[in-house]
Structure 1
Amino acid sequence: MGDPGPLLALTTGEPAGIGPELAVRLAAEGSPAGRLVAVGDPGLLAERAAALGIGLALVPLSPGDPVPAARPGELLVWPVSLRAPARPGRLEVANADYVLETLDVAISACRAGHAAGMVTAPLHKGVILDAGYAGFSGHTEYLRDACGVEEVVMMLATDVALHATRPGWVGSPALRVALATTHLPLREVADAITAPRLTRLLRILAADLVRWYGIEAPRIAVCGLNPHAGEGGHLGREEIDVILPVLEALRDEGLRLDGPLPADTLFTPRHLEGVDAVLAMYHDQGLPVLKYAGFGQAANITLGLPFPRTSVDHGTALDLAGSGRADPGSLRVAVALAADMAARRLQPV
């Protein structure tokens, strides 16, 4: 038998959303890469499989247990119990603790070496905030704090090698977009872009393009914050006072950085040629372009962690939950990318 690939922990996300059924569907059709162990409630997964007409045998395990060879029609599970019954499309605040526990189990397993990486189905931030977790802003920041690292970088990518074997792949196979700020109100973005923060983010982005992608000397294009990258100071001075000095200092360290560049023209084939990643200044500067190019065929990656973490490029889709119409395409991409990253991590130096 061939190498079964690295073991990946798949958190099943908001139980009222599409995450559990996406996990079930992916298990039924066979993981595109690596081995999966779902982290969630076995009864919930069995219920969603039955509703979809999928015959699926669940194999409960604990992190650290020997992992049996995957067989068709089976899904390995690290069980976490729901706090309240879950119905498709109907949020239940009591299950916020359940969702966070699935993350904690997967994080602990990765840090202990029981899993080589983790993939996350979508959660619902509003439910977690309503449950009293003030300040919760998403997977990315939660993982940062749980792992005790100073900074992480959110990056979305449509460049998984899976595109070569999947008919109907759309979008650029070489587009990677990282964010200088993530889930902030627009009026707070400029103040959040400081020289120390931008320096840390660019160092992480460059280092992890080497670590996870094997790019020897990555070239990164950096967006300006303001229209036309500030138009020489006439439309804002952040480019002159903050962004450009950081880029110049990091170039002296050997990083290959272009910019600051106007975002409205950067995302064109001519300007992206030879670029390994783009750093956008805020969420809606970079992600609409990437999602237009490959929505449903992209993955979200957290850089700066001690292990690989990827996620889907979409939300909980409460309106689709239980309908059988949710597309597992992004989850396939996220699993394939996490497996590739984990395999690179596990290779002897």
Structure 2
Amino acid sequence: MRSTSTCVSASKQACSTSPDAGDTAMKADLSRNTFDRAQHYSAVRLQQGRIVTDADWNEQADITRYRAERQARDTIGACGAPLDAAGYRLVAETNALAVHALNANVAWVAAQDGAVLATANGGADWTLVDVTTAVHLRAIASAGSAGWVVGDGGVVRKTSDAGLSWSAQDAGTLRALRGVAAVDADHVWAVGDGGIVVSSSDGGVQWSLVQTEATRLYAVDFADALNGLAVGQAGVIVATNDGGETWSGVASGTGAHLRALARVGTTLVWTAGDGGMILRSTDGGVTWLPCATPATATLYAIAFRDAIEGWTVGAGGTVLHTLDGGATWQQEDAGIGTATLRGLSV
């Protein structure tokens, strides 16, 4: 607290500034600027018989304003905003490219720019997981607590603790990997550009590379450690019965790019792709028949809950649902407009 001084200087023109240095100056006819925040005054007190000057009133105003500013900063923070209507928000934007659910609560999302998101409460909350890469991650798979995510530049990341931590693995290629599958903690396969298949039988410690007849493979699926399928551009389907050491072509009956695979048991398999194309096999992928669909959009993912019920999703917010094992499909509205859906897990 400070008392007013009896000493009054002659009136003169001065530049009035706010208490904080660096603010824009404004001209005013002031006798003095007496506010000093370092003094920690709480008020200016007037005394009997003393002349009241402009400096006294101005210092009291400066003390009041400074106290209000500091109180707001200490209470709200330096970057405070209304909780429900801040008028802006800071977000890390990326496009999700694949999703994989381990159970009803735990799921992972692979996305562009090296992003992996994880939830442990059924999707109510998501956490960004650092997998030490900035490339687009295009596919994700798991077997028990082991999991793999793959992407551009031949990037492979593995987790052995259900996604809590991830480590790099060298698959021996720099080509983009677009699909991955695992049947246990040891056996894992990934497919990608150039029609390559990389595989490991020791959990990813060592990898081998095989060239197939495809120019690009988008998805891979294995029934067990020996029997698997991969699909890709121009309707290519390739099959293996020796764990991926050799692959042979299978007639698909279509020239559309096939981008996704789903399997139930050892015999029921579905694939989906461009132009709303869906094919179904009841003999483990030896022969294929087209399914009737109402869509013409590109389908990026397909998944089945059991031998009867399944879904496929794709461009333009397309969602198709079947209740007869894929023989017929009905369009559903996901309520997302025309956003492209690239991943699906049930």
TM-score with structure 2 setting the length:
0.26
Write 1 or 2 for the structure with the bigger share of strand: 2
TM-score with structure 1 setting the length:
0.26
Higher RCO, Cα 8 Å, sep 6+: 1
